[in-house]
Amino acid sequence: MKQKVVGYCRVSTLEQQKKGYGIDIQVREIERCAHEHGWQVEVFYKDEARSGVDEKRTSLGRLLRECRTGTVGVVIIASLDRLSRSLRFAENLFYGFEQLGVQICIGDMPHYDGNDRKEVLIRQIKAAIAEENRKEIIERLKKGREERVRNGKMSGGTLPYGYARDHGNTQIVPYEAEIVRLIFRFHSQGFKDQEIAIRLNARGYRRRNGTPWTQRQVWAIVHRGALYAEGVIKYGAVVSKNAGLILLQ
């Protein structure tokens, strides 16, 4: 049975927003690495918007199942942290590939040899550094978001329904604010979330993405009552208020 040469790519949600981390760049690096060995990459397994510590990635799962069939001989990754940013998980993966007789080639470690103890040690050190770098990024993001909340601003990410960004400032969206007020009016009248969703859809109201309202989405609005009624903003243990965010008056 012919064994295939395949490539594996991964990019997280945060990395998608930065230059130099895209899937296309990884594909080119993998193809360059394959060309240097005289190989042709037959299949690319791509996980987009997936964290490096996520062990249940769709494409990685498919790759591992394919390796277990004995049809994959070589897996190429652009860099070590594309496989994982968790040292423990990375080592488990390398051990699994070794047991299956699958060779791993790493684009930014062109001389890597899994049979060389020194090369393995260097790989493990790099994996540990990648894990620590991830923890530092998370800590910086956490502190930055906490500071934003202390200053009466949204922590970041996708804004709750009813708000939008305008040149970095959070503004109330009139159309969405109208729906938020209607939801709370129905809620005060004793209607349950599913019943409210049915009434919104019957009146032709749609969510931000144009899809019908669901019980879960109505629950999310009602669950943010403190934000809409009092301008309360939270991130972890940090809480502040911004009167400019109040929708329910």
Asked whether residue 147 is assigned to any structural domain, the reply reads no
Q: 127 or 20, which is more confident?
A: 127
Same domain, 91 and 184: no
If asked whether residues 106 and 19 sit together in one domain, one would say yes
Count helices and strands (H / E) in the chain: 10, 8
Tens digits of residue pLDDT in 99-134: 999 999 999 898 899 889 999 999 999 889 888 888
What is the reported pLDDT for 168? Answer: 78
| CATH number of 187's domain | 3.90.1750.20
pLDDT value, residue 17: 47
| Whether residues 118 and 205 fall in one domain | no
Q: Is the same domain home to 12 and 101? A: yes
CATH assignment at residue 133: 3.40.50.1390
45 inside domain? yes
Domain that holds residue 226: 152-245
Is 70 exceeded by the pLDDT of residue 14?
no
Same domain, 129 and 172: no
Q: Which of 138, 28, 141 is nearest to 79 (CA)?
A: 28
Strand stretches in 12-118, DSSP E: 43-48, 72-77, 103-106
Specify if 146 maps to a domain: no
109, 138, 167 - which closes a domain: 138
Q: How far is CA 167 from CA 164, 170, 171, 231, 244, in A?
A: 10, 8, 10, 20, 16
How many domains is the chain built from? 2
Give mean pLDDT, residues 13-26.
Answer: 69
- Same domain? For 112 and 173 the reply is no
Is the pLDDT assigned to residue 18 strictly greater than 80?
no
User: Do 95 and 61 fall into the same domain?
Assistant: yes
Q: How far apart are CA 211 and CA 191, in angstroms?
A: 21
pTM beyond cutoff 0.85 = no
Average of per-residue pLDDT across 11-39: 81
> HSE of 182 in the Cβ direction (CA atoms, 13 Å)?
19
Residue 210's CB is within 10 A of a number of other CB atoms, namely 6
Query: Is residue 54 domain-resident?
Result: yes
pLDDT for residue 29: 94
DSSP β-ladder status, 4-11 and 43-48: parallel
One domain for residues 163 and 241? yes
pLDDT surpasses 80 at 51:
no
Q: Are residues 119 and 164 in the same domain?
A: no
* pLDDT tens per residue, range 168-219: 789 999 999 999 999 999 999 999 999 999 999 999 999 999 999 999 999 9
Query: pLDDT averaged over the chain?
Result: 90
Based on the fold, state whether residues 41 and 125 are members of the same structural domain.
yes
Exposed, middle or buried by CB within 10 Å (0-12, 13-18, 19+), for 56? exposed
Question: pLDDT > 70: what percent of the chain?
Answer: 95
Q: State the pLDDT at residue 137.
A: 83
Is pLDDT of 78 > 90? yes
Residue 145 lies in a domain: no
How much is the pLDDT for 84? 87
User: Is 188 inside any structural domain?
Assistant: yes
